[in-house]
Structure 1
Amino acid sequence: MNYTDDPSYSMAGAEIVEVILLGLVCVIGTIGNLLVVVAVITTPSLQVRQNVFILVLAITDLINTGISTPFFMICLVHGGWPYKEEACIFIGYVTILCLTTSGLTVNCIAVCRYVTVAYTNPVRRKVIHGRVVIAASAALIFIVISAVLLPVFGFGNVGFNEKLGHCSLKYENQFEWYYGAMMFVIGLICTVTIVPVSYTLIFWIVRKSKISIENMTLASRNDPCNDISKKPKADSPKISNPRRNMSRDELRLSKKLLMLYGLFLFCWVPYTSVLLADKNGTVPKEAHRATNFLLWMNACLNPFLYAWMIQNYRQAYKRILSKLFCQKRFW
């Protein structure tokens, strides 16, 4: 068991800074992800199928920031894992489960956004969304269970990782390294393939719709039988184009969710690169610690991106916070 029994042990300056930063991740991330969960549960407009994966992402990030992060801080303070080894293995599996689910959920969110944009018919969209949610959920469960069960059958190892300073995957030898490298590479390949394709199709559909609308408007203006000087009657019904209305809203939302993807790459690519380069155990511990912290930071930032970018979530947050802090009580 990796644990410093020396009573004179004291943290280095870098570890003190890391504990402080992790404390911020724990507090801010727990509050933010809890707000997402409460917002979805208490807001009917957010209880739609395409928000299922946003809820899953918030729950896994909440476990990371609210449970795994405090144990990480305990390891740094004590210089190792101070409890039974079985508990470290359990926390390690929880960390793997949440990180895997969080990473793969980003792909599911992108696919759901594509379905929302591609299918404008509400009935057809609902059917497709249901199929996508079922298929994506099945794939997600299969991958996550496989990632967790492989170490049970001897492929890979879970416990206290000295380089990372917490309970997670262990890669003290090349055999263990292959398991960790395989997990991160498969997850990253899926994300850099599925997400860009989904958003490229979204932008292509919206662009095609915009060009079609512009051509129709131009043809209407050039039509000699169409007298544009005539004003429509006051009681004439206003003709609206559902595709045009959808294009503005969905394109705006898709761009915002694309920023989530950019944040995902910023947080995950550095650590994956360091892990792949450490096949022979030559990469310094400091590189592992610095890039690993980005993974924890990702779980902290996601809910605030929703609050900043998506109006429905922002309104739900304001309503929840106002009830907590601004509600007057009369006795």
Structure 2
Amino acid sequence: MMEEAELCFPQLLNTSCKKFTRPQSESMLIYILMSFISLFTVILNLLVIVSISHFRQLHTPTNLLLLSLAVSDLFVGLFVMPFQVLLTEPCWLLGDLLCCLFFFLGFIIVPSSEVNMVLISVDRYVAICDPLHYSTKITQKRVKICVLLCWVSCVFYSFMILYDNLKELGRYNSCYGECVINIFGAVHLVIAFILPISTIVILYLRVFVVAVSQARAMRSHITAVKLQSSVTVTVKKSELKAARTLGVVVAVFLMCYCPYYCVSLSRSDITMASSTNTFINFLLLLNSCLNPVIYAFFYPWFRKSVKLIVTLQILQPHSSQANIM
């Protein structure tokens, strides 16, 4: 009887997985933390989605990219995070189909967030480094096409990387009660991490260099002696602000994604067993909660739109044409 109590499926003595024990305090911490982060992720990204969708003044190419990013991060909070909580349980009881479906959705939603970040970095690169041609290069139509291609490519990528797992459900499970998939860790590392982060870092470094050089050029043209000191201070503050903002973007992305992909490089199996796995997956998903903070809270229009949403002023007639810029 003692052995049966330690099995995920006691009726399957020879094929059932054994339950691993986890301290109750650790389980409670995981549930509370993941539930809070999931709720916070959904609320923040919903505010971004409602703001950009409702107010016509925000219907710009850049904000369309922010909208797509918010949608992918919203799906992380709604679908990926709750399933991730279930993966921390001692046993997977929902069957092989839902196990594979969870990872299939995950490999669509999480990479789409990364691709949207790359598109945003490209948008900002053109806006800073080639401002005269920005309006002709970055149009609403082109941005919509890029967003569509982003989601289609992520669906295709998820199907390809999980093809063997989808073809034969549960083929990599060693016993009943497991949720295990097999992927090419090195390929996933290159496509889903090295290429996006390299693109983001290179573009943002270029943006920062150009922004600093423009600020210095503007400062060199100041000839009024009385204003020289005050302008110098202002320019220096703007340089520091630009450096800090770009540094936060790259640092947070690295902090959230590096642990997960370092583990992916060292092994190809992704399981639900260990506390280490739980932690690195939590960090990865946390990025979807931080994205609206990084990309939206830096904009004054977002704070104004949130105020109108919370106070229900968006329900008033013609509120979509409100001036919030």
Same fold flag (TM > 0.5): yes
Which residue of 1, 4, 7 maps to 2:8?
A: 4
Aligned partners of 2:45 and 2:71 also within 8 Å: yes
Superposed CA offset, 1:132-169 (max 9, x none):
6367447634641342221464389897899xxx9987
| Alignment partners' CA distance in 1, 2:269 and 2:161 | 20
| Alignment partners' CA distance in 2, 1:143 and 1:246 | 41
| Alignment partners' CA distance in 1, 2:87 and 2:76 | 15
For residues 241-280 of structure 1, the aligned pairs below 5 Å read 252=241, 255-256=244-245, 258-278=247-267
| Alignment partners' CA distance in 2, 1:85 and 1:38 | 36
Partner of 2:61: 49
Aligned partners of 1:264 and 1:298 also within 8 Å: yes
SS in 1 for 2:138: helix
Task: Identify unmatched segments of 5+ residues in structure 1.
Answer: 222-227, 229-244
Is the aligned partner of 1:194 residue 2:184?
no
Is the aligned partner of 1:290 residue 2:301?
no
Q: Structure 1 residue 265: deviation in Å?
A: 0.8
TM-score if structure 1 supplies the norm length? 0.72
Partner of 2:14: none
**CA 1:307–1:128 in 2, change beyond 3 Å: closer, same or farther?**
closer
Partner of 1:300: 289
Is the aligned partner of 1:144 residue 2:138?
no
SS in 1 for 2:8: coil
What letter is aligned with 2:261? T
SS in 1 for 2:91: coil
Q: Percent identity?
A: 20
TM-score if structure 2 supplies the norm length? 0.73
Partner of 2:136: 127
Q: Structure 1 residue 126: deviation in Å?
A: 1.6
Partner of 2:94: 83
SS in 2 for 1:217: coil
Which residue of 12, 22, 35 maps to 1:23?
A: 35
Bigger drift between 271-280 and 190-199 goes to: 271-280
| Alignment partners' CA distance in 1, 2:131 and 2:255 | 33
Superposed CA offset, 1:8-50 (max 9, x none):
x786433332122111112111111111111111122322101
Bigger drift between 299-308 and 191-200 goes to: 299-308
Q: How large is the Cα RMSD of the aligned pairs?
A: 4.1
Which residue of 181, 184, 204 maps to 2:186?
A: 181
**CA 1:152–1:254 in 2, change beyond 3 Å: closer, same or farther?**
same
Larger radius of gyration: 1
Partner of 2:113: 102
**Residues matched between the structures, number:** 289
| Alignment partners' CA distance in 1, 2:208 and 2:125 | 9
Task: Identify unmatched segments of 5+ residues in structure 2.
Answer: 1-6, 12-18, 227-233, 317-325
